[in-house]
Amino acid sequence: MSIFVASLWVLVVICVVLFLYTRSDTTASGDASFRSFQLTYLVVYMLAMAGDWLQGPHVYALYQHYGMSTHDIEVLFVAGFGASMIFGTVVGSFADKYGRRANCILYGVLYGLACVTKHFGNFWILMIGRLLGGTATSILYSAFESWLVYEHNKRGFSQDLLGTLFSHATLGNSLVAILAGFVAQFFADSFGFVAPFDVSLTVLAIMCVVIIFTWSENYGDSAVNVRTSFVSAIKSIKSDRKILCLGVIQSLFEGSMYTFVLEWTPALTPVATTASSVASRRLLEEEDVTVEGHRGAIPHGYIFAAFMIAIMIGSSLFKILCRWTSIESFMRPVLFISAVALCTPIVCPGNQLVIFIGFLVFEVCVGLFWPSLGTMRGKYVPEETRATIMNCFRIPLNLIVVIILVQNLRMDLIFKCCVMFLLCACLSQHVLYRDSLNVSKALPETSGEASRQDAGKMPLIKEDMVEANGNEDDDQN
């Protein structure tokens, strides 16, 4: 039994134990209204993520099936990240003005159309599909969270419950990724490489229907145009160092994470460790069709499942760490550990076991990162331009991935860049932690919930502000 299979079962045991241990945290969310709200969000979010995960494993294989050259495939992938950086930033920011619910439905429509284009072997039609998919991805990582945070605050739920919800979303996303991999493989084997995209289209259509019937609409500042919204977002980032730090952390960590997704296969394949990144991927694609046991073959399915379970472990550790210290505090060592973990391909090139352990540690950090970042964004990012600011944060991370794809750098240099990015993210997290301490010290001892919300930049719902103003007028009278 290989180290990959053995580690998978060890991780499963650890994940189950941690999940059972942290189940007691859900007693704090025993409120029926919160459980109902959580279910309403998670059902839609899991369908949205399933629509994305179902496509991922077979995009490259489908392009090869259509006879695309390696260069053409690289261009298509770069176009996807470029579209997310340019078009996605604008379209994703429509959520603040035209509604987060409507933007989430638009995600389903755009990604569904991208699935339709996969039925055609024409390069330019596939290019349109990549542009649609890249734009949809920006919506996926901004509008859904923006809708959630607004509705969470509107219903008066605590910030602790928001962190719990993000943790459950991360855990569920990993489960969906594993299941989607099996489903996509079954349909690809049974009906061809296009079939997983048809399944994804069906899931996205179901998601849109569920949103229409279960979600209410909410907005940022619908009175301003998109250009004004961008100006306001930039002003918020420039004027509040905590928001700027969040943007730096997100861009650098996610940029490293997406780069890791492209590089873990060649890094774990001994025959490819000294080759450049694109050349390694080309070699590995050729070796994947050889018989099992070839010296370059690795069990991609088991490794991917192990990574997803490691993320689930991280989401459970998030709830444990939140009992003892603040997110701003424990994310500093988490980011530092993630940097150390990605040093393994640099320090021990060709050592498959050490590199694999390092990658598992990194994925645990990813599982901690997602709910932590979501909770901090919910605390510090202003409601009026939430989706716009989140999409601004995605510009540099997409730029990082595009540059690495285009430059065709050596693998060791790529991981050195990732380590540097993560160390810079760790430094930004420390600055954010210091600023959060200063805000806490500035609060009066007797301050109430409203003061705590103001310190955390928690957005007040417009109806609440109107009511508060009305109460002040009554007091004055």
Q: What is the per-residue DSSP string for 323-373?
A: HHS-HHHHHHHHHHHHHHHTTHHHHSTT-HHHHHHHHHHHHHHHHHHHHHH
Predicted confidence band at 441 (pLDDT cuts at 50, 70, 90)? low
Instruction: Considering only residues 222 and 203, tell me which one the structure prediction assigns the higher pLDDT.
Output: 203
Predicted confidence band at 176 (pLDDT cuts at 50, 70, 90)? very high
Q: Give the pLDDT mean for 381-385.
A: 87
Chain segment 27-58, per-residue pLDDT in tens: 555 578 899 999 999 999 999 999 999 998 88
Assign residue 457 a region: left if phi > 0, alpha if psi is -120 to 50, beta otherwise? Answer: left
Instruction: Considering only residues 256 and 463, tell me which one the structure prediction assigns the higher pLDDT.
Output: 256
Indicate the range of 196-210, 222-236, 417-431 predicted with least confidence.
222-236
Chain segment 182-198, per-residue pLDDT in tens: 999 899 999 999 999 99
Residue 23 pLDDT greater than 90, yes or no = no
Predicted confidence band at 259 (pLDDT cuts at 50, 70, 90)? very high
The percentage of the chain sitting over the pLDDT mark of 70, rounded to a whole number, equals 83
Q: Give the pLDDT mean for 319-332.
A: 94
Question: Structural domain boundaries of the chain?
Answer: 3-17+35-456
Predicted confidence band at 438 (pLDDT cuts at 50, 70, 90)? confident
Indicate the range of 256-260, 277-281, 424-428 predicted with least confidence.
277-281
Tell me the pTM. 0.84
Between vectors from CA 37 to CA 174 and to CA 246, what angle results, nearest 5°?
A: 60
CB atoms within 10 A of CB 474: 8
Backbone φ, ψ for residue 410 (5° rounding): -65, 150
Predicted confidence band at 452 (pLDDT cuts at 50, 70, 90)? very low
The percentage of the chain sitting over the pLDDT mark of 90, rounded to a whole number, equals 59
Residue 451 pLDDT greater than 50, yes or no = no
Q: Give the pLDDT mean for 45-73.
A: 91
Indicate the range of 297-301, 344-348, 353-357, 412-416 predicted with least confidence.
297-301
Q: Give the pLDDT mean for 63-72.
A: 90
Give the C-alpha distances (Å, rounded to integers) separating 202 from 80, 106, 195, 428.
22, 15, 11, 41
Q: Give the pLDDT mean for 338-347.
A: 97
Q: Give the pLDDT mean for 195-206.
A: 97
**CA 17: distance to chain centroid?**
25
Report the half-sphere exposure of 17 (CA within 13 A, side-chain side): 7
Return the pLDDT at 336.
98
Return the pLDDT at 288.
44
Contacts 24+ apart (CB under 8 A), 459-464: 459/149, 459/150, 459/153, 459/382, 459/383, 459/384, 459/386, 460/153, 460/383, 461/150, 461/153, 461/154, 461/383
Predicted confidence band at 442 (pLDDT cuts at 50, 70, 90)? low
Q: Give the pLDDT mean for 77-88.
A: 87
Predicted confidence band at 25 (pLDDT cuts at 50, 70, 90)? low
Return the pLDDT at 58.
87
Residue 92 pLDDT greater than 50, yes or no = yes
Q: What is the per-residue DSSP string for 229-256?
A: HHHHHHHHHHH-HHHHHHHHHHHHHHHH
Mean pLDDT estimate for the chain = 85
- Report d(CA 420, CA 413) in Å as an integer: 11
Q: Give the pLDDT mean for 228-255.
A: 92
Q: Give the pLDDT mean for 233-252.
A: 94
In terms of Cβ atoms closer than 10 Å to its own Cβ (0-12, 13-18, 19+), residue 274 is middle
Predicted confidence band at 220 (pLDDT cuts at 50, 70, 90)? confident
| CATH superfamily of domain region 3-17+35-456 | MFS general substrate transporter like domains (1.20.1250.20)
Q: Give the pLDDT mean for 226-244.
A: 88
- Structure tokens of 250? 């997100």
Chain segment 278-303, per-residue pLDDT in tens: 444 544 444 443 333 344 568 888 89
Backbone φ, ψ for residue 19 (5° rounding): -65, -45
Predicted confidence band at 95 (pLDDT cuts at 50, 70, 90)? confident
